[in-house]
Amino acid sequence: MSRTTLSGVERTDLLRAIAERHAVRRYTDTPVPAAVRAALGQTIEAANAASGLRIQAVYDEPSAFGGRRSTYGQFRGVANYLSFVGPSQPGLPELAGYWGELVVLHAQLLGLNTCWVILTYDRAKSAATVELGEEEVLVATLGYGETPGKPHKAKPVERLGQVTGGGPWPDWFRSGVEAVALAPSAMNQQKYTFTLTGDTVRAKPGFGMHVKIDMGIAKRHFEIGAGDGPWHWAE
C-alpha cells in the first residue's frame, strides 16, 4: 500500500483536525453554506479520482435518519451526510475508511461536525446514488453540532504499536501510533496493531465488527501522524 494524500492541506492542519474531531450525533438546523459545500465538494472529487470510490455529499435530506435506527443511535437533527459508495470488492471497506477519513478530516477543518454511521440509519432511504455492482459501505453525518462532541476512550499506544525485537520507538513511529489512538472505530474497539520492523510498518487487524473499515481509518491516521518519516507500508 502506498502513502497517499491530497494536495492543498498541511499536515499540521490534519493533526489539528484529528485532535479536535469527535463523534457528534445531535445537530442544529443551521444550513451548510454554499461556499463550504463547494470546498468539501472539491475534496470529494479529488478523493474519488484518486481512489476509484464514488463518495457523495447529501444535503437537506433527513429521511435516512428519521426512523427507529437513528433513535437507537441517539441521532437528532441529521439532514446532511457523506455516503461512501464504491464497486463491490473485498478491499472496499478498508478503502472507504482510508479515503473517507481524509474527507471527514477536511470537513472538520471547514468547521463541520461528523459521525461515522454503519448500522443506525435507514440504508433504504439513503439519497445516495448506488449503481449496479456498487454498494454503500457506510455514511457519516455532517453539519453543525449542538456540541463539538467528546473524546472517545482510546487504548494506550503500547497496545496499538510495537517494534520488532523490543527496540526503542522512533519519534515518527510514536507520532503515528499516537494518531492511531485518536482514530474512531466501531464500538471504540480499536482492534489493530501497527508493527515496525526495520523501516517497514505492518498494520494487522484483529477480529471484531467492521474491522476492515476501522483498519482503513487507522492507516490514514498513522500516515498523518508519522508524516515523512523514513518508512513504508509492508506489501
Output the DSSP codes for 128-179: S---TTEEEEEEEEEE-BSS---PPP---HHHHEEEGGG-PPPHHHHHHHHH
Q: Is residue 77 part of a domain?
A: yes
Which among 117, 115, 97, 110 has a CA at the least distance from the CA of 16?
110
Residues spanned by the domain of 217: 157-233
Q: Is residue 152 part of a domain?
A: no
Indicate whether 108 and 199 sit together in one domain: no
Query: For residue 6, what pLDDT is reported?
Result: 64
Query: For residue 167, what pLDDT is reported?
Result: 87
Q: Is residue 151 part of a domain?
A: no
Q: Is residue 1 part of a domain?
A: no
Q: Is residue 213 part of a domain?
A: yes
Task: Name the domain count of the chain.
Answer: 2
User: How far is it, in rounded angstroms, from Cα 209 to Cα 206?
Assistant: 10
Indicate whether 56 and 133 sit together in one domain: yes
Q: What is the mean pLDDT of residues 57-64?
A: 96
Q: Is residue 4 part of a domain?
A: no
Which among 162, 225, 164, 160 has a CA at the least distance from the CA of 198?
164
pTM of the model: 0.94
Encode pLDDT of 146-196 as tens digits.
Answer: 999 998 888 999 999 999 998 899 999 999 999 999 999 998 899 999 999
Indicate whether 170 and 203 sit together in one domain: yes
